[in-house]
Amino acid sequence: MGLLSSLVFPALGFSDLLVFVAPLWIAVAAGVLVGWFWRPKWAYLDTKPFLSDSSPKFFKLPTSILKTSSHSLSSPQADEKEKSGFVTDDDFRHLWKLVEVKDGGPAWIQMMDRSTPTFSYQAWRRDPENGPPQYRSRTVFEDATPEMVRDFFWDDEFRSKWDDMLLYSSTLERCKSTGTMVVQWVRKFPFFCSDREYIIGRRIWDAGRVFYCVTKGVQYPSVPRQNKPRRVDLYYSSWCIRAVESKRGDGEMTSCEVLLFHHEDMGIPWEIAKLGVRQGMWGAVKKIEPGLRAYQRAKAAGAGLSPSAIMAHINTKVSAEEFMNERDSIAEITGEKPTGKNIPKILVVGGAIALACTLDKGLLTKAVIFGVARRFARMGKRM
């Protein structure tokens, strides 16, 4: 019990507590019984699925949440990948919210705005209450298609030609149905730090030539940890790639915009990491554009796709707006709104209000009753 409780409860005698606690328990018991018998038919659990170790069937959900051309999300292969927890539809949903500035996080503070004749770059930072600094950037490449930029960022074999921090890369696992990959990277850090290892899960959603590319750190026990390089567990780096109008002002959608959202815990004090990012950001960004132009020239000369770039062509086709609307409607059905088992919670709170208004024990007693009611409400939420 906290300090607030120790100050409140000694002011009340045992008989006072008994007067309002006993009726409250009666109200709670009545609320649970009424809530149980008032449940709609669809809320009853089927006990057979539990006996067979399969998921209980509360109700039937829509099966066309995502429209894919190469596979169905209900296929065994896709289900297996979704269950693996590498990169799922929730990750797409989160990235979409970041792009649309609907994630509910702190405001972004601009920290850089640079440009050259062939590309422009803007960067923002925000500091969440818990976790490392988060970065958002907007890069626009002139005369580049979303497909080319998508392949460029996914191509680990070509990345080593322009990203001098990448020391090693390997594909640990791939799914030819969803395009999900698990890759291992080792990145070079300054001489006063050991190199860093990343186990990254990644996958691409295609919303009509708008590519949502998710990459994040994942757990992969089959690759044991080592003292060096040091593994980075918290890692998130995802892009939205889409065509935009050229800055030439001709009305042609010949430029490509990349919105990047990135954060990671490298094991370096966050304030020092922020200083290093600010000092080295433009120097690192300037290397990306020459790398993309070299990639364009190589493809124009007939160079084939690397294995990792081939995986960039396996996307989950999705209508982003329809997907978000369907997910919201499903959330209402599945209990994020007060339904089914939340009825006892409503009755408990209502009973507490009636009890507080009936008992003439003063403001302190009412505060205790409401506190107990909130505790039961939280307990009901976890049931």
β-strand pairing of 196-206 with 316-317: parallel
| C-alpha to C-alpha distance for 365 and 20, rounded to whole angstroms | 8
**Residue 73: predicted pLDDT:** 38
Residue-by-residue DSSP string for 41-61 = GGGPPPHHHHHTTS----SPP
- pLDDT at res. 27: 52
Say yes or no: domain 83-325 is CATH 3.30.530.20.
Answer: yes
Q: Which residue ranges of the chain lie beneath pLDDT 50?
A: 1-21, 24, 28, 32, 34, 36-37, 39-75, 78-79, 81-84, 330-331, 333-334, 337-343, 348, 356, 360-370, 372-373, 376-377, 379-383
Per-residue pLDDT, 10: 36
pLDDT at 283: 87
Residues 6+ apart with CB under 8 A from 365: 12, 16, 20, 356, 359
Residues β-bridged to residue 168:
186
Please choose, from the candidates 339, 373, 335, 337, the residue with its C-alpha nearest in 3D space to the C-alpha of residue 353. 373
Cβ atoms 178, 314 nearer than 8 A: yes
Q: Cα separation of 32 and 5, whole Å?
A: 27
Domain boundaries along the sequence of the chain: 83-325
SS (H, E, C) 95-119: HHHHHCCCCCCCCCEEEEEEECCCE
Question: What pLDDT is recorded for position 272?
Answer: 87
- State whether residue 255 is helix, strand or coil: strand
Within the chain, residue ranges assigned H as helices are 3-8, 14-37, 47-51, 76-84, 89-99, 146-154, 156-159, 270-285, 288-300, 307-311, 320-334, 343-358, 362-382
Measured CA distances, 62 to 19, 65, 87, 92 (Å): 50, 6, 21, 18
